[in-house]
Amino acid sequence: MRTILLSLMALSVLVGCGRPSPLAPGTPAARSPQPPAEGTPIVVKIPASPTPGSLQALEEAIRKGDWAAARAAYEAAGAPPLPAERLNAWMEQALRGIVRAQKEGQPERGERIRADALALVGRGCRCLDPQGGLRPDAAPAGLRVEWVLALSLAGRPGGAALGGTEPLPEWGRKWIAARFGREPSAIPPLVDAQICPIADHLFLIVGFYILQLDGPFHGEAPGLSALSEGERDPERYYVLCEADRIQWVNAMSGGRGTALEAEWDGKGFRSMGVERANPAADTYQEVRRHVEAGELEEALRAYEEGAFTRQVDEDPELATEALRQGLAVAQRRAEAGDAAGAARALHAALTLASIPYELEGPTFLPQDWAIRPRSLEEWAREAFYGPSLDPALYREALAHYARYLARSGRAREAEPILRGLIVLSPDYAPAYLDLGDALWDLGKQEEAREFYRRHLALRPGEEPPPRVRERLGRSAAHRHLFHSEG
């Protein structure tokens, strides 16, 4: 049950906050019937009996499962009113045909059966409106209303796809409420409804209410008392059917979920318990454990494979710790001669710290940094909602990451990061030195010398690294940069 709950929760994030359409085998009808007027009396009309000969072709077509031919034969026989017992039997046969079609992956065939059978029933009982809704005032005695409702809900194409759902028919809401002694308001119009084949029986499930279509059982989902009051909203639940059980799964956005499960025992349903899951908290704890252990790549993997990671995204303290650990791990790896490993550690740390701020993927920089120059502090105030990361810490991690990229043969990737840092933090001298190194490796020697000079201008009196001295030369034009006292 937990696997299904987690899978369904993940799927519900891809579609936003809209109501999902029910999963196979049945989905709500796309047509909402006009409800009967309030207070309309129910008048039972007894149809005239058709002659046996007039129904021979009709019966033969239904026996073959050819509902289009059945409709044609019925019209050819003069479209006589039909007795309730025949209509009930035909509706059951149609519904089982729809279930078979859906199991065989042919929802369009199921929809054709539904449309033809419902049209036949509507003409035969003289009790459906043009939209397929039941008119209680015209229903013949003995007509199984639950079969009419099930047929109106079954066979819609779409399988397990999620999306918007049409409201439950108003007449169906009122009938279900009356059947279970509830007010109509107890059944929301967007409640999930399913037709479930379980142990060779057919069940109609509307929210938490269960009706056996081919038998006497009816009742509420067992185990409801284990749910808190806030968890009992049927609009929040999917209904899922298996061979011998029903599951009600509440896959809420935000990383929490509840599943209620009931198993058929041959006479009724018994509760299999309630399961609650909080994958957001599980992911957060796993990510934090890896970060605190200095396992940055493992932390990023846990983030990417986890579910509902918003709790990770919204914790600036965790992001800060990831950057600190990333710098420490990267330094150890670099000192051991593993520049590529150092870059990987900082890539993971920066990814964990940057994901919630909508930064440019491979560069970890704001998407518009080249369009509107500003300082790193200004950027931090704009890009980091809530308590922001320390701009100096982020800048240091970003600079070291670019440095290790260049040292591991990835100067082309380092260049845009360093150029962005200079835009954001024009007084940060290490970025000029590292950009000069990256440009030199890319064969842009003249531009590299210019950034070396700008680095030295920001560090007057500081002896340049040997490589910079060699690349710039000891000409009189540059010597004042090496020995200026400021």
pLDDT band at 179 (very low <50, low <70, confident <90, very high): very high
Residue 43 has pLDDT above 60, yes or no: no
Q: Rounded to whole angstroms, how far apart are CA atoms 111 and 132?
A: 14
Give mean pLDDT, residues 372-389: 67
Domain ranges of the chain: 1-23+160-277, 25-34+42-158, 281-425, 444-486
Q: Which residues pair with 451 in a beta bridge?
A: none
Other CB atoms within a 10 A radius of the CB of residue 100 amount to 16
What's the pLDDT at 270? 95
Q: What is the pLDDT of residues 406-426, one digit of tens each?
A: 999 999 999 988 998 888 889
Listed range (58-72, 288-302, 381-395) with the worst mean pLDDT: 381-395
Q: What is the pLDDT of residues 44-63, one digit of tens each?
A: 343 445 555 567 888 899 98
What's the pLDDT at 364? 65
List the 218-220 sheet strands across, edge first: 193-198, 201-206, 209-212, 218-220
Contacts 24+ apart (CB under 8 A), 414-421: 414/438, 415/439, 415/442, 416/363, 416/365, 417/363, 417/364, 417/365, 419/370, 420/363, 420/365, 420/369, 420/370, 421/376, 421/395
What's the pLDDT at 204? 93
What's the pLDDT at 45? 42
* pTM of the full structure: 0.57
**Measured CA angle at 171 (ends 87, 236), to 5 deg:** 115
Token pair of 147, please? 């079969």
Cis peptide before 20 (omega within 30 of 0): no
Residue 117 has pLDDT above 60, yes or no: yes
Give mean pLDDT, residues 376-393: 70
DSSP output for 316-331: HHHHHHHHHHHHHHHH
pLDDT band at 78 (very low <50, low <70, confident <90, very high): confident
Residue 205 has pLDDT above 90, yes or no: yes
Residue 338 has pLDDT above 90, yes or no: yes
Give mean pLDDT, residues 239-247: 90
Residue 20 has pLDDT above 60, yes or no: no
Q: What is the pLDDT of residues 134-143, one digit of tens each?
A: 887 888 899 9
Q: What is the pLDDT of residues 250-304, one digit of tens each?
A: 866 556 788 899 999 999 999 999 988 888 888 999 999 999 999 999 999 999 8
Residue type, 456: L
pLDDT band at 244 (very low <50, low <70, confident <90, very high): very high
Residue 221 has pLDDT above 90, yes or no: yes
